[in-house]
Amino acid sequence: MNDKYVAFLDILGFKAWLSDNDMYDTNTYMKDYSKAFRETWDSEDTEGIFCYMVSDCAVLHTEDVDKKKLKKLIDLSIAISKNLFSKTGILIRGAICKGDFENITRSESLLNFNENIFTGKAYVDAFVLEEKAKVAGIALSAEVSKDVQKYLMNYTTVELKDYVLVRYFTIDYLLNEDVFEKFIELAVKAKWIPHYHNTVYLALYKNPEKKGIFDKIFNQLEKTDKNKKGEQTKEFLCTAFVEEVDENYKKQLCTYLRKKILDDTSTVEKPMD
């Protein structure tokens, strides 16, 4: 048996970046990504963890299924995600699965030929699960989630339909002024794809501090709207109700908008008879 915990981490929106930027900007972007990734790796406890980087993706795995290695892998995935966002503005989506995994790359080197060959169900499962997650965070398979509970690991998780999500965008982290402004800036550039709405919702999940978050979003959108025509606000609202966005988030936004309209209406001075 070659069971291991395997994490697949991916840059959100990389394809869109490639289509909107030239090769020089893309090379700079990827060098910044690689530097920030490596800085995190060097600063964390990575004993017993292995990493392979391929373009905008990274595959990390443990040497076995020891519980301490699982905690290291989750902690490392969170640290990489937060550091990449803080240093470069890059959003990471990832998944962790458990099962067969092996790197069967040959040890001998060939001229002008490099290879990294992974085999095993855990790698494929992590790749597939990562694509399912429409949110910035680390998705855990059912088996990994059970191990997290069994080992009494204390992570900020949300149970979703197909997986359990470990959040690195907690409410405290998102409401940090620098983080919040950078997040909204990226969301605008990405035209508010569902991942951004869902990340906001899951940051707010079961948090009493959620009151006022939509005010902050609309204020920031108004502040950064160069043409002052409300285009950014309109795009936010139009994209908030697409199918991939969480239904509870839509309800929260509707409740906020309804109250906002009623409050605004009540402040309008009634005409004199």
- The torsion of the CA quartet 230, 92, 118, 110, rounded to 10 degrees, works out to 90
Phi, psi of 8 (to 5 degrees): -115, 115
pLDDT digits (tens, 9 = 90+) for 145-201: 999 999 989 998 898 888 999 999 988 889 898 999 999 999 998 899 999 999 999
The closest alpha carbon to 130, from 163, 159, 93, 100, belongs to 93
Q: Domain ranges for the chain, please list them.
A: 3-168, 173-266
The predicted structure's pLDDT at residue 94: 96
The predicted structure's pLDDT at residue 171: 87
Tokens coding 61: 């795995």
Bin 244: left if φ > 0, else alpha if -120 < ψ < 50, else beta.
alpha
Q: Do residues 189 and 157 lie in contact, with contact meaning Cβ atoms separated by under 8 Å?
A: no
Long-range CB pairs of 251-254 (<8 Å, 24+ gap) are 252/201, 252/204, 252/210, 252/214, 253/214
For residues 163 and 1, the model is more confident at 163
Long-range CB pairs of 150-157 (<8 Å, 24+ gap) are 151/67, 151/70, 151/71, 153/70, 153/71, 153/74, 155/74
pTM score, whole prediction? 0.89
**Mean pLDDT calculated for residue range 113-139:** 91
Instruction: Please check the confidence at residue 268 and state whether its pLDDT lies above 60.
Output: no
Buried b (16+ CB within 10 A) or exposed e, 99-116: bbbeeeeeeeeeeeeeee
Instruction: Please check the confidence at residue 41 and state whether its pLDDT lies above 70.
Output: yes
The predicted structure's pLDDT at residue 266: 61
Instruction: Please check the confidence at residue 273 and state whether its pLDDT lies above 70.
Output: no
pLDDT band at 264 (very low <50, low <70, confident <90, very high): low
Lowest-pLDDT range of 16-20, 97-101, 125-129, 229-233 = 16-20
The predicted structure's pLDDT at residue 169: 92
Residue keyed to tokens 């085999």 = 119
Long-range CB pairs of 42-46 (<8 Å, 24+ gap) are 43/79, 44/72, 44/75, 44/76, 44/79, 45/72, 46/72, 46/76
Tokens coding 118: 């992974």
When the candidates are 3.30.70.1230, 3.40.50.1980, 3.40.50.720, 3.40.50.2300, the CATH number that belongs to 3-168 is: 3.30.70.1230
Residues β-bridged to residue 59: 8, 52
Give the distance from CA 125 to its chain's centroid.
Answer: 18
pLDDT digits (tens, 9 = 90+) for 187-234: 998 899 999 999 999 998 877 556 689 999 999 999 888 776 889 999
pLDDT digits (tens, 9 = 90+) for 54-67: 889 999 999 999 99
Tell me the Cα Rg of the chain: 21
